[in-house]
Structures are given as C-alpha cells and as structure tokens.
Structure 1
C-alpha cells in the first residue's frame, strides 16, 4: 500500500507539471498571435514626433485596424478601418524594412499635397498643424532646392514642396524623363525593373510611356517638422508597408540614461504624466 501511495503521488506531481507546461505553451502561443496580429509594443527612438511623442515613450500599436500582415507572406488580414488624415501610423521604413518608423499621415491616396512657407495644403485646403507640432530650424525660401528632398532634381525643400499627387491604386501616370524620378522607386517597390536608355524608359525590359499604379500610397510627416526623416525625403509610403496605428503610451522615461549604471536616476526619470496617454 505504501508503494502504491508513493507511485500515485509521483504520478500526480508529473500530471501537474505537465499541466503547467501546457499552460505556459498555450500562453506563449496566445501572446505570439496577439503580437503578430493585434497589438504590439513600440519604442519611440528619436525626436521626429516631438512634442506629440517623446523619445523614450513606449506605445501600444493597433495592428489589426489596417489589416495585419501574415508573417513571411504578402498576405494581409482584412482591415477594420482605412487610414485617415491625421492618424499616427507605424510602418516599415521603405529604405530599410527591418526598421519601424512612426509619423503622422498627412495625405491619402489620390490627394494633392503642397507645402507653402511651412503651411501644409491638401487638395487646395489649409491643413491645420497638429496641436504639438513645432518648427526648430530656419525657414527655407521658395525655389531654393534641397538635394536631399524627394524627388531628385526638383526645386522643392522642406518648407516649400509640391504640388504633388499621392499615387492611388489604378492611377495611370505618364512616364517621361521629367516624371521618372517621382515614380521610379515606387515602380521598383511594386516588383518591376526600371531602366533608361537615352530618353526611353523601360519597365521589365519593355519600352513604356505610362504606368498603372498597383497599390495605394500615403504621405507621412513628423510633427517635429524640421527634425523628421519623412516622405519629403524618401517619397511615398506603400499600403503594404503599414504596420498599425499608435494607440497609447504605456511607459515613458529618459532614453539617454543607462539603467545598468545609474538605475536610481533612470527610475527617477520616469514620466508618470505620460503613462496612459492616448495618442492622437
């Protein structure tokens, strides 16, 4: 009887251990699914959105609202809502998709955007600045080109830009030596090769004087207008690079203080007033 009791006790402990292990596996799978398709954490690394968002803010990002991407595929789940002007969006940086960027969407597919003396116009109407937007650099006059600005060879600068139409799926655009700097990156990102020979443009090796746009695109800008690497510098944001919409700050502290070497000062740098802040 004593041996049977011992065996029963050992069997019960093994059963409990197995249940705990299975529970941990299930919890890990649920967390992974939530992270991939529902909500993901994101840390603000730079000051491009100050003072709306600060470097050292940690956010929850809603991934399902725009249709989360299935990992290792080009498949997106059905979206719940469309991107709207003014949404703060997280996306894959078009020039390095291993990086996530966060900016404000200022123009939608089919919109015409122009910046005149720092004032943003969309479809001819003045777009009000976000509540915490700021300018920290010197204003550039019209007609003075900045050669870092998109598209190449234009006379645009950060404060005087466009007018420029944001590509919309189904648009047919004319290709010339003048317009190809505007569309070349987009065409290549949509999976085609672009080459030039003299004044002739080739797409996938075939002469072309027009192109039918395959995806919707957006124009994104940082609220800290003079300290933001945004669409003015790298161009249009493809619908397929969207990650999600910023929701809420759940943690915030000074990112420049090292936790390991100065834990007390790091902890005292916690920005308690930002925790729980809804992002808009």
Structure 2
C-alpha cells in the first residue's frame, strides 16, 4: 500500500483528534478540574482547620491533574499529530529516504545504500495526487533520479537521466550516443562486484562534463532482449547492435550505471514527467560499509 497515502490518513485522523481536543475536550476537562477543585476546597472549609487534610495542597494538585489528563485514545492520537505532521511535510516536500534494493546502479550505488532524495529540486508536488505546485529546475543529463516505475506506479525505481525530451539516444555496440554525439568513456581499473563475486570492466562516462563510473562488459551481446510493449514504442528502433530512441515530449530516457544488469528504458520505455519523485544526492547510511556515507556523482 502507498506509504504516502497511509501517512496522509494518519495526519488527517490525528489532526481531527488534535483539533477536537483543543476546541472541545480540553475545555471540558478544565471545567471538570475547576469544579472538582472548588468542591475539594468547600469540603476543606466545612471540616475546618482542625480536621483539614495536612496534604491538602498536594491532594488538590493531584485531583486537578487527574481531571486534566487526556483519555488514552486522545493520548495516542492527538499527542502524535505534530510529529506525524512534521514527518509528512518533510517527506512530501523536502527530503525522502530510500534504500537501494538492486545492483542496477553499481558502482555508483550499491545494494544496501540508504539514500536521500531531494523532493523540491524539480518542483514541489502535492503528495498522493502528484500535482505540480512549483516548476523547479529542469532535469539534466546525468542526474540520478527516483521515479515511479511506469509499469507499476506503486514501485519506485532509481536510474540516471540519459535522454531529455526531444533527444535521440542510441545505445549500439555497447556505446552511448546522444543527439549524434558519442559519450566519451575512459577505462578505469576493473571493478570487483561483490554481489556476483567477480570482476567487471569499469569505465568513466562523461555526459556534458558530468562524470560518473559505469560497468560495461564488452563480452555481453549488445542487442536488447525482451523489450516490452510501452507507450511511444514506435519512437524506438531495435536491431542486432542495440537500440535507437527519440525521447517524446514530457518524457525521459533512463539507464542504470550497471549497463549489462539494469532493467531500464531500453526494456520498458520512457519515464513521464508526472512519475518523477526527486533527485538522489546523498548516501546517509550503509550498515555494511560506513565509508559509503557521502555524496555521489
């Protein structure tokens, strides 16, 4: 179930309880406390000083406290409203945490990395309905982005932006070309893939001056196997060398940095702008390797 929806429902329920407590139940408890204290004072006055309760001040204070105490159902609803509201606002409009579940972004992001995602960089959106409130800045090639998977919007994916609306992206013979310009690659030392327990060929890719590492095994065939049917599939031509796509308006072409082990736009198509969640920018924890904490390209 959509966690944002669950959080929103909790905000509404606890908010109603909080408002009801402030406007209705708290005044009732105050009147009851004042009446109880007044009755206690009258009783003390009737018995006189000789028989008065020696602990009258403490008893009076305890009586007032008992009458002002929230019932359990308000304590576990209204009391949590401010906390839940802050979490909802921060998660919806500022920063949201995610955990990397697969190796499609190796070597940039590893399985088990906990990352932070900027929710306002590309424009603030209303949670649940995802309506855009502010424009924000446009995506740039090379951004690492979290988005709702077009085939199942209840699932979040993370990939790198390769093609912007109107771009012609070609991935043929294991080489990336954008608008007819070959994306430069520089060989790096082989990368030891702990998940697959073996070494992989590693390269540094330079997309418009933005550099990041990728894994690309020349021994793996270049053609795409198992491409699905998806909107604007007619914009792509598949061949034995790979695929060439023209990105439609309002959409993006995404790829994983682990090029031979990534289900991305080559297989299931373009990502519409409405599916964007935010820009990933920081690893805040990896319990297996604390050295992973920090920013990434």
Same fold (TM > 0.5): yes
Q: Does 1:278 align with 2:290?
A: no
Farther-moved stretch of structure 1 (6-15 vs 218-227): 6-15
Flag the structure with more relative contact order, 1 or 2, with Cα contacts below 8 A and sequence separation at least 6: 1
**Is residue 82 from structure 1 mapped to residue 138 from structure 2 by the alignment?**
yes
Higher Rg of the two aligned structures: 2
What does the per-residue CA deviation read over 1:192-219, in whole Å, with 9 as the maximum and x for residues that have no partner? xxxxxxxxxxxxxxxxxxxxxxxx1000
Matched, 1:11 2:64: yes
> Aligned partners of 2:89, 2:262: CA distance in 1, in Å?
32
| Match of residue 283 from structure 2 | 249
Partner of 1:122: 178
Map of 1:134 onto structure 2 = 215
Q: Residue by residue, what CA displacement relative to the aligned partner does 1:230-253 show, whole Å, maximum 9, x if unpaired?
A: 000011110000000002111113
For 2:116 and 2:280, the matched residues in 1 are separated by: 6
Structure 1 partner of 2:116: 60
Aligned to 2:246: 165
Aligned to 1:133, the other structure's residue is in SS state strand
Is residue 145–residue 154 contact of structure 1 (8 Å, CA) maintained in 2? Answer: no
Q: 1:107 to 1:15 in 2, by over 3 A?
A: farther
TM-score, length-scaled by structure 1: 0.67
1:14: how far off?
A: 7.3
**Alpha-carbon distance, 1:95 to partner:** 0.5
Q: Which moved more, 1:8-17 or 1:57-66?
A: 8-17
Q: Which structure has greater helix proportion?
A: 2
- Secondary structure, counterpart of 1:225 in structure 2: coil
CA RMSD of aligned residues (A): 2.8
Paired position in structure 2 for 1:210: none
How does the TM-score come out when normalised to structure 2?
A: 0.63
Aligned residues: 212
Report if the CA contact (8 A) 1:61-1:245 is conserved: yes
* SS at 2:213 equivalent: coil
